[in-house]
């Protein structure tokens, strides 16, 4: 009897050991560990890296990030390394990834001096803050917020991005290689921009210092100038 | 999968025959015929080719790049004008079994009828009943864009003479019912041989080469041999590790990646425990005794030693945190690299591509939140990629061979999806 009890006790202990060993030998059960595949390009907390074409993800509205993950997964937004990584991941998991990066709040990078001319920067400032009513170009701030930090759930902030990334994306919207759900408001706006407009807007946006509060505005804080598929009413 | 080898190339159709409306009928096991058909359509992975990205289910239109040009998959919804709404169950069986349209026309062998020919009439009837239950989508098939001379369908006759032998699966009476079920699924609906066999310039596989592995055209992923334990042969795997891999995409021995991730995602994760086990039993049985290790590396010894020594430095800095200093990993999520056949096999294409492109195993019911590997294409030079792959292929008792920076460089431009 004693022997059996001892054997049982040893077996139980061994089982505990096994369980403990299994936990020790497993990766951390966290989103941070699960999104390590994202970090070489987007930074450990989604703050961006030295590569000027890879955007910051941290603190962007979760709805915006989710829309982008879905667009990459479905091939609507084309960038093969992203399309490949996301192709077989379930939508609820992409939502969790979006939530994770939306919840990260590393500081915005310090602004680097722009090599654009004064005239270019002035043109950029004018388009960003006032738009060009004659060409039916709205001010960036009318959708992306007066402080350009975006609005929940679907409108991204425009700060903390490098001019190369902004130019590349505006170019992609203009040429129709980047699209979003209809009505595709960003495509409509970008189609009215010239190449000079794009360069100027990108240079000006990248030169803006961080506001005190970099969080996106809550949903419905302001009314958009037109309907937008990415920001449903 | 965008592989040319998995496409039902229906092309232009002439519709004949009366329509056979799918009625809710019971299958042989008492379950609904449509539900059974859905299950079997999963096993055949019809959706992978017959649904375009963001497209309606089974409406076709997915582009399939092939060495011969681009094929576009066909509409197999119940639409009477543009789908298979006017087909009969007999027509559908002929398509699956003979690779012929209702009018007798020949299908391109991208439709895996060379495998589907093994499927029973009972099973094709169930799949047909399921497809008839799919809401019709009026979407005309897109013309294929094949280069001359491949645009000539008469060439298919030659292909068929060389590579197609018609016939339903014949059970082997000396084997168990479970083994036979596994063989039926692997060789038939699973059409595993379409990728896991060497594909020659004519786009065919010969019977003697079945399951011996090969580079998948256009995708530049290596589909390893299922018969050699030096590749993906499963002879020394436990049945549980095999079923875990097939059902969840991860296992204690390794994880699926590349085109196989899609197969698990779209197809294998939906198979029940009995069928998965049957496939595992069969796959384990077809592994043959290993051939002797390959001849030593083509690289000069001095270059190899330099690479491997640099490789250890790269490994310790970038890889060891997840895969362990001894290549032990933290399986199943962070796979072991020591004694991992996928790392050691003669073709180094897959390990090089994994380092370049990273990847996530598929999200499955059994593993809905997989862990991913970062892409290192932007972080490491060709030399460093070659070095770290050479290191993991030869360290910890692994019996692979070193690879050159040129091989690493060439795979930077491999298509990603």
- Per-residue confidence band for A12, with pLDDT thresholds at 50, 70 and 90: very low
Whether the pLDDT of residue A3 is over 80: the answer is no
For residues A71 and A112, the answer to whether their CB atoms sit within 8 Å is: no
| A98 and A117 both lie in a single domain | no
For A204, B73, B79, B138, B253, the CA distances from B58, given in Å and listed in that order, are: 47, 9, 11, 11, 35
| A93 and A120 both lie in a single domain | no
pLDDT: is B226 or A15 the higher one? Answer: B226
Q: How far apart are CA B52 and CA A224, in angstroms?
A: 33
Domain span including residue A208? 110-223
| A49 and A102 both lie in a single domain | yes
Answer yes or no: is A92 within a domain: yes
pLDDT value of position B8: 31
For residues A45 and A160, the answer to whether their CB atoms sit within 8 Å is: no
A&B contacts, CB < 8 Å: 84
Binary contact (B374, A89; C-beta < 8 A): no
Of the residues A58, A81, A106, the one at which a domain ends: A106
Of the residues A77, A106, A135, the one at which a domain ends: A106
Interchain CB contact of B336 with A (< 8 Å): no
Interchain CB contact of B373 with A (< 8 Å): yes
Residues of B in contact with A83 (CB under 8 A): 416-417
Q: What is the mean pLDDT of chain B?
A: 88
| A204 and A146 both lie in a single domain | yes
pLDDT: is A225 or B247 the higher one? Answer: B247
- Per-residue confidence band for A177, with pLDDT thresholds at 50, 70 and 90: confident
Answer yes or no: is A184 within a domain: yes
Mean pLDDT of A137-162: 93
Answer yes or no: is A20 within a domain: no
pLDDT value of position B12: 26
| A43 and A77 both lie in a single domain | yes
For A122, B150, B159, B179, B217, the CA distances from B202, given in Å and listed in that order, are: 62, 10, 7, 32, 11
Binary contact (A26, B330; C-beta < 8 A): yes
Of the residues A106, A137, A159, the one at which a domain ends: A106
pLDDT value of position B25: 54
Q: Report the 10 Å Cβ neighbour count for B231.
A: 23
Interchain CB contact of B375 with A (< 8 Å): yes
Nearest-Cα distance to chain A for B333, in Å, is 7
Answer yes or no: is A229 within a domain: no
Closest in A27, A40, A85 to B371, CB measured: A27
| Domain containing residue A72: CATH number | 1.10.760.10
Q: What is the dihedral of CA B278, B281, B283, B288, to 10 degrees?
A: -160
Identify whether A98 is preceded by a cis peptide bond (ω within 30 of 0): no
Whether the pLDDT of residue A94 is over 90: the answer is yes
**CATH no. for B302-413:** 1.10.760.10
| A125 and A149 both lie in a single domain | yes
Task: Report the sign of the C-alpha dihedral through residues B132, B133, B138, B144, in that order.
Answer: negative
Answer yes or no: is A15 within a domain: no
| A178 and A83 both lie in a single domain | no
Binary contact (B330, A25; C-beta < 8 A): yes
Predicted confidence (pLDDT) per residue in A23-70, tens digit: 668 999 999 999 999 999 999 999 998 888 899 999 999 999 999 999
| A96 and A126 both lie in a single domain | no
Q: What is the dihedral of CA B110, B111, B113, B119, to 10 degrees?
A: 140
B222 phi/psi in degrees, rounded to 5: -95, 120
Q: In B188-238, which ranges are continuous DSSP H helix?
A: none
Predicted confidence (pLDDT) per residue in B235-260, tens digit: 889 999 999 999 999 999 999 999 99
| A137 and A188 both lie in a single domain | yes
| A148 and A51 both lie in a single domain | no
For B95, B120, B212, the CA distances from B9, given in Å and listed in that order, are: 10, 21, 26
First to last CA, chain A: 72
| A91 and A118 both lie in a single domain | no
Q: How far apart are CA B406 and CA B64, in angstroms?
A: 28
The total domain count for chain A is 2
Nearest-Cα distance to chain B for A25, in Å, is 5
ipTM of predicted assembly, 2 dp:
0.87
Whether the pLDDT of residue A15 is over 60: the answer is no
Which residues make up the CATH 1.10.760.10 domain(s) of chain B? 302-413
| pLDDT tens, chain B, 417 aa long | 444 433 333 222 223 333 444 444 555 555 699 999 999 999 999 999 999 988 999 999 999 888 888 999 999 999 999 999 999 999 999 999 999 999 999 999 899 999 999 999 999 999 999 999 999 999 999 999 988 888 888 888 888 888 899 999 999 999 999 999 999 999 999 999 888 887 655 666 666 677 777 778 778 898 888 888 888 888 889 999 999 999 999 999 999 999 999 999 999 999 999 999 999 999 999 988 766 565 556 677 888 888 889 999 999 999 999 999 999 999 999 999 999 999 998 899 999 999 999 999 999 999 999 999 999 999 999 999 999 999 999 999 999 999 999 999 999 999 887
| A80 and A144 both lie in a single domain | no
For residues A144 and A64, the answer to whether their CB atoms sit within 8 Å is: no
Binary contact (A33, B261; C-beta < 8 A): no
Q: How far apart are CA B210 and CA B360, in angstroms?
A: 28
pLDDT value of position B20: 41
Q: What is the CA angle A66-A69-A75, rounded to 5?
A: 140
pLDDT value of position B407: 95
Nearest CA in chain A to B334: A27
């Amino acid at each position: 009897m004693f022997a059996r009890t001892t054997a049982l006790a040893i077996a139980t202990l061994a089982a505990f050991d096994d369980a403990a060993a299994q936990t020790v030998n497993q990766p951390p059960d966290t989103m941070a560990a699960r999104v390590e595949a994202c970090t070489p390009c987007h930074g450990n907390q989604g703050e961006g890296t030295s590569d000027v074409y890879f955007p910051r993800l941290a603190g962007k509205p979760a709805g915006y990030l989710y829309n982008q993950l879905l667009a990459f997964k479905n091939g609507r937004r084309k960038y093969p390394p992203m399309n490949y990584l996301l192709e077989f991941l379930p939508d609820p998991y992409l939502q969790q990834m979006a939530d994770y990066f939306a919840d990260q709040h590393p500081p915005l990078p310090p602004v680097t001096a722009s090599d654009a001319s004064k005239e270019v920067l002035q043109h950029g400032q004018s388009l960003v803050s006032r738009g060009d009513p004659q060409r039916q170009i709205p001010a960036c701030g009318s959708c992306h917020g007066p402080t350009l930090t975006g609005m929940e759930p679907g409108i991204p902030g425009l700060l903390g991005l490098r001019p190369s990334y902004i130019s590349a994306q505006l170019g992609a919207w203009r040429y129709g290689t980047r699209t979003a759900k209809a009505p595709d408001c960003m495509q409509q706006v970008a189609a009215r921009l010239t190449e000079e407009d794009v360069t100027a807007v990108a240079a000006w946006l990248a030169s803006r210092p961080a506001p005190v509060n970099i969080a996106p505005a809550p949903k419905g804080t302001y009314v958009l100038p037109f309907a937008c598929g990415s920001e449903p009413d | 999968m965008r592989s040319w080898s998995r496409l039902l190339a229906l092309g232009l159709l002439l519709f004949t025959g009366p329509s056979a409306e799918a009625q809710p009928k019971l299958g042989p096991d008492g379950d609904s015929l449509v539900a059974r058909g859905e299950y079997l359509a999963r096993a055949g992975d019809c959706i992978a080719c017959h649904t375009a990205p963001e497209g309606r289910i089974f409406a076709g239109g997915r582009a399939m790049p092939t060495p011969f040009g681009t094929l576009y998959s066909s509409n197999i919804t119940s639409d009477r004008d543009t789908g298979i709404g006017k087909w009969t169950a007999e027509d559908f069986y002929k398509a699956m079994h003979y690779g012929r349209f209702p009018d007798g026309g020949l299908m391109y062998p991208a439709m895996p009828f060379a495998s589907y020919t093994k499927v029973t009439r009972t099973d094709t009837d169930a799949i047909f009943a399921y497809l008839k239950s799919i809401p019709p989508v009026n979407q005309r098939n897109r013309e294929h864009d094949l280069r001359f001379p491949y645009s000539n369908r008469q060439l298919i006759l030659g292909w068929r003479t060389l590579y197609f032998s018609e016939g339903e699966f014949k059970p082997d009476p000396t084997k168990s019912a479970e083994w036979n079920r596994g063989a039926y699924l692997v060789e038939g609906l699973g059409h595993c041989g379409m990728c896991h066999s060497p594909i020659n310039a004519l786009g065919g596989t010969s019977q003697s080469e079945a399951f011996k592995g090969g580079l998948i055209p256009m995708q530049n992923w290596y589909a390893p041999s299922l018969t050699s334990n030096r590749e993906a042969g499963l002879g020394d795997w436990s049945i549980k590790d095999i079923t875990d891999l097939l059902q969840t995409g991860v296992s204690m021995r390794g994880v699926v990646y590349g085109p196989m991730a899609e197969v698990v995602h779209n197809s294998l994760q939906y198979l029940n425990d009995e069928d998965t086990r049957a496939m595992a039993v069969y796959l384990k049985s077809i592994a043959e005794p290993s051939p002797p290790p390959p001849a030593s590396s083509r690289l000069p010894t001095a270059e190899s030693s330099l690479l491997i020594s640099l490789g250890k430095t790269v490994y310790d800095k970038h890889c060891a945190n997840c895969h362990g200093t001894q290549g032990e990993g933290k399986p199943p999520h962070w796979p072991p690299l020591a004694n991992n056949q996928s790392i050691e096999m003669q073709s180094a294409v897959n390990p090089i591509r994994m380092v370049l492109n990273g990847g996530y195993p598929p999200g499955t019911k059994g593993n809905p939140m997989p862990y991913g590997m970062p892409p290192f294409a932007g972080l490491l030079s060709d030399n460093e990629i070659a070095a770290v792959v050479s290191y993991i292929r030869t360290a910890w008792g692994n019996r692979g061979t070193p690879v050159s920076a040129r091989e690493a460089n060439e795979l930077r431009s491999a298509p990603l999806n």
